[in-house]
């Protein structure tokens, strides 16, 4: 009798433990006793998608960089992405923390897990992966019904840009994420995919690193026909153009084709990335949008 009760208890515990199992974007199974009700996001892009899906009721914490939509600022901040306050995080009693390898430290993941809190990794280097993150945020927040319309909206806006730029050529584009040191998008950067959709030929897309450092000489040698400089909000100040305007031999300078764009739209993979795509397409192919 006792043995039967023990077996039943063990089986019951196993069922409870496996009540909600999801596989994160690194292929790791995350096992919870139930769908998460208290989520902390260490990923600004994920925070934006959670709000876009209407799942913010389950979001109890965020980072200082999770500043969009403005309503996100009402959630408790756990500090920065690289070194969040674990004390603040634990006080929020989350049952799941959303993280990313491209903005958080591996040590942070391990520390959170040692505290007995599950972590769920996300990341997106392509628009198709942005859609996948949206699907997963819908699953985690119980907003599956909102996913379909959101994905349809993404598809429509991407198709609109593709169709608009299709009749035109593909100019060589230098995209500058950061001016000094010069940082550019490589093969697996989200911006590289956006440039491709916008009808551009990124001159740095062959680099194996996601966001490699580049020398100005190497960039000049590729004779970009368009230069796009990313700003990072009001805190970074205006974009310095002097160093670029001195490069008068470049095709981009001869044609007066040096543009600034909002980097927050291009480098995060919330729904605003579609506004970023539109900015890029208009910078690369203004003739398509007259």
* Per-residue pLDDT reduced to its tens digit, 161-218: 999 999 999 999 999 998 888 899 999 999 999 999 999 999 999 998 888 999 888 9
Sheet containing strand 226-231, edge to edge, reads: 201-202, 172-176, 226-231, 258-262
- Dump the DSSP string for 180-243: TTTB---TT-HHHHHHHHTT-EETTTT-SSSS-B--HHHHHHT--SEEEEEE--GGG-SPP-HH
Backbone angles phi, psi at 229, to 5 degrees: -110, 125
Q: What's the CA gap between 227 and 49, in Å, rounded?
A: 30
pLDDT at 238: 52
pLDDT at 9: 43
Q: What's the CA gap between 37 and 98, in Å, rounded?
A: 13
The number of beta carbons lying within 10 Å of the beta carbon of residue 247 is: 16
Asked if 43 contacts 99 with a C-beta cutoff of 8 angstroms, the reply is yes
Please state whether the predicted TM-score (pTM) of the whole model is above 0.85.
yes
Listed as ranges, residues in the chain with pLDDT below 70 are 1-18, 233-240
Asked if 240 contacts 246 with a C-beta cutoff of 8 angstroms, the reply is no
Residue-range domains of the chain with CATH: 17-142 (3.40.50.1980), 167-288 (3.40.50.1980)
pLDDT at 1: 46
> Which residues neighbour 137 within 8 Å (Cβ) at sequence distance 6 or greater?
46, 49, 50, 53, 55, 143
* Per-residue pLDDT reduced to its tens digit, 222-240: 999 999 999 875 454 456 6
């Amino acid at each position: 009798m006792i043995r039967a009760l023990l077996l039943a208890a063990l089986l019951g515990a196993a069922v409870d433990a496996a009540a909600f199992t999801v596989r994160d974007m690194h292929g790791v199974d995350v096992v919870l006793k139930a769908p998460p009700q208290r989520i902390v996001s260490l990923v600004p892009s994920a925070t934006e998608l959670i709000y876009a899906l209407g799942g913010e009721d389950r979001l109890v914490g965020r980072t200082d960089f999770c500043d969009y939509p403005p309503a996100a600022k009402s959630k408790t901040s756990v500090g920065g992405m690289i070194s969040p306050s674990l004390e603040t995080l634990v006080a929020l009693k989350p049952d799941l923390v959303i993280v990313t390898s491209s903005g958080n430290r591996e040590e942070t993941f391990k520390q959170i897990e040692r505290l007995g809190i599950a972590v769920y990794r996300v990341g997106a280097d392509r628009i198709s992966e942005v859609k996948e993150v949206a699907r997963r945020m819908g699953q985690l927040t119980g907003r599956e019904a909102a996913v379909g319309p959101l994905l349809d909206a993404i598809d429509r806006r991407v198709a609109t840009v593709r169709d608009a730029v299709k009749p035109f050529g593909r100019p060589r584009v230098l995209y500058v994420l950061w001016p000094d040191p010069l940082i550019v998008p490589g093969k697996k950067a989200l911006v590289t995919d956006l440039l491709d959709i916008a009808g551009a030929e990124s001159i740095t897309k062959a680099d194996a690193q996601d966001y490699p450092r580049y020398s100005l000489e190497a960039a000049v040698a590729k004779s970009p026909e368009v230069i796009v400089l990313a700003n990072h909000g009001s805190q970074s100040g205006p974009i310095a153009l002097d160093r670029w305007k001195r490069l008068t031999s470049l095709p981009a300078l001869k044609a007066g084709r040096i543009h600034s764009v909002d980097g927050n739209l291009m480098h995060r993979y919330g729904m605003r990335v579609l506004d970023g795509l539109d900015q890029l397409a208009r910078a690369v192919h203004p003739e398509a949008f007259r």
